[in-house]
Amino acid sequence: MSSLEQRLRAELARLRAADLYRVRRVVGGRHAVEIDVDGRRCLNFCSNDYLGLAADPRLAQAASCALGECGTGSGAAALISGYNREHRALEEELAVFTRRPRALLFSTGWAANLGVLRALLDKSGTLIADELNHASLIDGGRLSGARYRRVAHRSLRGFDQALQAAAGGPAVLATDSVFSMDGDLAPLAELAVLCRRHDAALMVDDAHGFGVLGEGGRGALFADASRPLGADEVPVYMATLGKALGVSGAFVAGSEVLIEYLIQRARTWVFSTAPPPALAAAGREALRIVQAEPQRRAQLSAAVQRFRAGAAQLGIPLGESTTPIQPLVLGEERRVLAVSAALFQRGYWVAAIRPPTVPKGTARLRITLCATHSAGQVDGLLEALAVALRETAALETAAA
């Protein structure tokens, strides 16, 4: 056995012993609320498909039409021959929807964040970032070569101090809008004021807000109707299409100058094959549905409120999140795995989230609600969750 094999085997054994080993589960058919997982039919409460569009036949029909006309792939990077009219149409529609002059389509949110930060920063600059930002923002900042200043979660004082220390060089303050593991919101309006005061650029990753929050589902920048944030306050806006829109990909929206600069310098865009035109066509249909069917957001909000009210009645300790992301922090990895397994046996799929995805000691169930969850399904999850928590606690007591 080679030294490489020995080292990898030892690390895998360590992960298993620490209850940190991860296993993929296979989904059969459509990724919807009712889902087939490893051959077992269950209800899905861990998806980011917030508006229930991933299995909507209208998106499949739009993609199918584009497949017939444009084929399965784009064949090249966008600057070569891969830029299809479906890509251009989606970018134009996203720009109008987000009320920005331009938008640029990326293959993934990860590619967008890495590409933007590496393009905007170098060793002469500073990235100021919330400590709970998504890993793509963390890696993008590190790869940029800029000085990296992590700030305590949502600490306005910490951000102010970091911005003061960065004075004299280019600075970007990057933050999630909705934090993916906690569901809480960044203080975007206050951060915009700080960035303006210190002449820094604010970059917002709105992956979990786009399509869900704000006027017409335009995202977290519009969550406060009395204080929408314009392009001058948030010059760099990123959002994904693979969550509320139920498709795949991501985009960056901003000024004409920003988008033209990224076309020249965002390496993850320049050197990547353009997404299939059919995905762009499906994204356009999803964007149309978001605007035409506001009842989806109303149904989602009702599901979130019902779940939180039911959890309070049952004494299930949730955090302060008002978004579809409702974490139940259980602490120990073994405990969260046991509760997740107990739920799965009762027909509810809620994945266990463990380090390094979340900080050590904060392993959790990341429960997510969708517009297509019925009241009965939400109530059923609450009942199953209460039973699973009691049973797990009893087993832990017996083993102590």
Please list the active-site residues: 180, 208, 243
Asked if 178 contacts 322 with a C-beta cutoff of 8 angstroms, the reply is no
Q: Please name which of 260, 290, 228 lies closest in space to residue 93, comparing C-alpha atoms.
A: 290
Cα→Cα distances 207→82, 218, 338, Å = 25, 11, 30
Q: Dig out the tokens for 78 from the structure.
A: 């966008």
Cα→Cα distances 76→58, 81, 84, 352, 360, Å = 27, 6, 10, 38, 42
DSSP-assigned beta bridge partners for residue 151: 130
Q: How far apart are CA 201 and CA 170, in angstroms?
A: 8
Counts of helices then strands in the chain (DSSP H, E)? 13, 14
Q: Dig out the tokens for 32 from the structure.
A: 């919807």
Q: Please name which of 280, 272, 234 lies closest in space to residue 114, comparing C-alpha atoms.
A: 272
DSSP, collapsed to helix, strand or coil, labels residue 282 as helix
Q: Dig out the tokens for 86 from the structure.
A: 């479906």
Asked if 203 contacts 43 with a C-beta cutoff of 8 angstroms, the reply is no
Q: Please name which of 325, 358, 318, 321 lies closest in space to residue 131, comparing C-alpha atoms.
A: 358
Asked if 173 contacts 201 with a C-beta cutoff of 8 angstroms, the reply is yes
Please state at what angle helix 188-198 crosses helix 156-165, rounded to 10 degrees.
Answer: 20
